[in-house]
Homo-oligomer: A and B are copies of this chain.
Amino acid sequence: MAAKGSDTRKKRLGAKSARLPPMQEARSEPPLSRERIVATAVDLLDAQGTDGLTMRRLADRLGSGVMSLYWHVDNKEDVFDLALDQVLEHRGPPQTAEFQDWRGEVVHMLEDWRASMLRHPWSVSLLPARALGPNILSRLELLSKTLSRAGVADADLNVAMWSLWNYVMGATITRVSFGRSDDDRAAAQQRLAALGERYPTIERSRLLLDNDWEGAFRKGLGVLLDGLSPRS
């Protein structure tokens, strides 16, 4: 059903002819390209969220006709896929040959991952329903290699990988859905209090008001890493 890989007729041509501007329209937009479409889509998503992205609006921002987009892109789903992967781009590993602090590196990697998604909140609602783009795979590869080199046995590797992935995804998604604004959460907690004594414990602990997201994230991650460490 969900075939990946753009299979419409269209190949990235080898950057041969540098289309010179048509010179009739002084402020004409640069020509359409997959890259420009994706970049604009990310802008639009940042500004208006998932529902804000429509093909028409996207074309407007690009100064093109709607149907022109479909030459470069399979369909709207494709745009989402590309935008998501774009946002998860990451610089390669620092490539330090020596390997003293694997734990710190893992924490850093995962925090960077999380931060990348939090910078574009729409990405977390997209990710669950989408396949793995190259940038996600590359991040997984890096994590896997680090854990492996740190001494995690092959037999335990997948459990470790999935546990970390699950935790990071869950924490990020939660952060986005509940962390909108202090006011929102205050309102939620108040509604909760108003609901009477049905939820005394979470009301007392002020669960929804807790806003040390980073601290909580790090602590939970620490616990997980403690348990997943080799030769623990």
Contacts and interface: CB of A to CB of B under 8 A. Distances in A.
Contact of A166 (B137, B171, B206, B222): B171
A137 B192 contact: yes
Contacts of A163: 167, 216, 219-220, 223
Given A166-B167, A198-B141, A228 B224 contact: no
A144 B201 CA distance: 6
Interface stretch (A25-33, A37-45, A63-71, A151-159): A151-159
Contact of A188 (B132, B141, B191, B228): B132
User: Of A167, A188, A217, A226, which is in contact with the most chain B CB atoms at under 10 Å from its CB?
Assistant: A167
Contacts of A201: 141, 144-145, 148
A168 interface: yes
A108 B3 CA distance: 37
User: Of A128, A165, A168, A210, which is in contact with the most chain B CB atoms at under 10 Å from its CB?
Assistant: A128
Interface string A190-204: 011001001111100
A25 to B, nearest CB: 39
Contacts of A144: 201-202, 205, 207
User: Of A4, A220, A228, which is in contact with the most chain B CB atoms at under 10 Å from its CB?
Assistant: A220
A198 B136 CA distance: 12
A157 B216 CA distance: 11
A92 B69 CA distance: 53
Given A171-B170, A228-B223, A202 B137 contact: yes
A201 B160 CA distance: 14
Interface of A: 2, 4-5, 124-125, 127-132, 134, 137-138, 140-141, 144-145, 148, 154, 157-159, 161-163, 165-171, 173-174, 176-177, 184, 188, 191-192, 195, 198-202, 205-207, 210, 215-217, 219-220, 222-224, 226-228
